Amino acid sequence: MSEVMDGLPDIEQIRTAATRIAPHARVTPVLRSATLDALSGAELYFKCEHLQRGGAFKFRGACNAVWALSDAQAAHGVVTHSSGNHGNALALAAATRGIAAHVVVPEGAVRAKVEAIERAGAILHRCAPTQAAREAMAAEVQGRTGAVMVHPYADTRVMAGQGTLALELLQQAAGLDALITPVGGGGLASGVAIAAHAIDAGLALFGAEPQGADDAARSLAQGRRVTTIVPDTICDGLRALIGESNLEALRIHRVELITVSDAETVAAMQLIWSELKQVVEVSSATVLAAILQQRERFAGRRVGVVITGGNVDLQALPW
């Protein structure tokens, strides 16, 4: 099974994903803070996916992809090239089904993340730190083992899995007016947009993007996918270029992008740590940074705020 599967999921696929991952994924809590409400002038409902298995929302998509396979497909395992939260999530998800997870890891990847992927039971495949080498190695593993490729975001099953987060959040926090997620490759933003609008077409959708990796904002503005950007941001989880179908979802669902500086993001990260008492990674703080930067757009609204991950190197905090 090597055909590309990156069409947008519909709400039924997202509901199916929710049922499929329910035995394995956590229902993550929603936290609030009177201080952050006062600072923003809005009512903020923080959806805590850093408390998801593996410390990131990525487990939802990976788990859906793994359990969507037929037994015959699953027997060959899964493969991806991601040295970050998706690689870890796929390893954890594969373990829930007892199948092999092959993870292609470029030389120079963050040691702590690679160790976590190995602890989760993945088979590591090292390669040179280029996109071409990663894809070649993944294709080689795929050809040799028959493992199914699970792309981090340009994958229908992955988008559907990430969308389950919105179903959950809209049940936990009734009457939201708006919803904001970080935007990297767009797997989360697209899945969430589809799920959220299926439930409430009037919901205002926002995406937060680092100024140093604002390809999605530029792509939406220019009406075509901008792929010439060289990411320069401390938000390591948001450096991926947005996928073609992911971008299409943002356009269809009128997701408004807000770009934030790394300094704004780090300040917001400290607020989340000190006020919500939650250890979240820097990419997760872009959403609060966007809300505080564009106070007048959010003031008076009930806003769902997706916290994406909490895998932080405590020895190298960005302040």
- DSSP symbols for 124-182: EEEE-SSHHHHHHHHHHHHHHH-PEE--SSS-HHHHHHHHHHHHHHHHHSTT--EEEEE
Per CB under 8 A, the list member of 223, 277, 296, 316 interacting with a second copy is: 277
The tokens for 249 are 């979802």
- Of 22 and 317, nearer to a second copy (C-beta) is 317
Contact 308, 57 (CB under 8 A): yes
- Across-strand partners of 304? 45, 179
Name which of 249 and 280 has its Cβ closer to a second copy. Answer: 280
- Residues in 300-319 at the binding interface with a second copy, rule: CB under 8 A: 310, 312, 314-315, 317, 319
**Least distance CB 227 / a second copy (angstroms):** 34
Query: Which residue, 146 or 318, is less far from a second copy as judged by CB?
Result: 318
Using CB atoms within 10 Å of the CB of residue 110, give its burial: 0 to 12 exposed, 13 to 18 middle, 19+ buried.
Answer: middle
Size of the site for a second copy (CB under 8 A): 18
Q: Does 29 bind a second copy (CB under 8 A)?
A: yes
How many angstroms separate the CA atoms of 125 and 27, rounded? 32
50 binding a second copy? (CB under 8 A): yes
Cα(109)–Cα(6) distance, rounded to whole angstroms?
A: 26
Structure tokens of 127?
């390669």
Which listed residue (96, 278, 293, 294) binds a second copy by CB under 8 A?
278
Part in contact with a second copy (CB under 8 A); list of ranges 68-76, 184-192, 221-229, 274-282 = 274-282
Please return the burial class of 71, using the count of CB atoms within 10 Å of its CB with bins 0-12, 13-18 and 19+: exposed
- Compute the least distance from the CB of residue 76 to a second copy, in Å: 27
Q: Which is nearer to a second copy, 19 or 171 (CB)?
A: 171
Q: Which of 140, 225, 279, 318 binds a second copy (CB under 8 A)?
A: 279
Q: Which residues bind a second copy (CB under 8 A)?
A: 29, 31, 50-51, 55, 270, 273-274, 277-280, 310, 312, 314-315, 317, 319
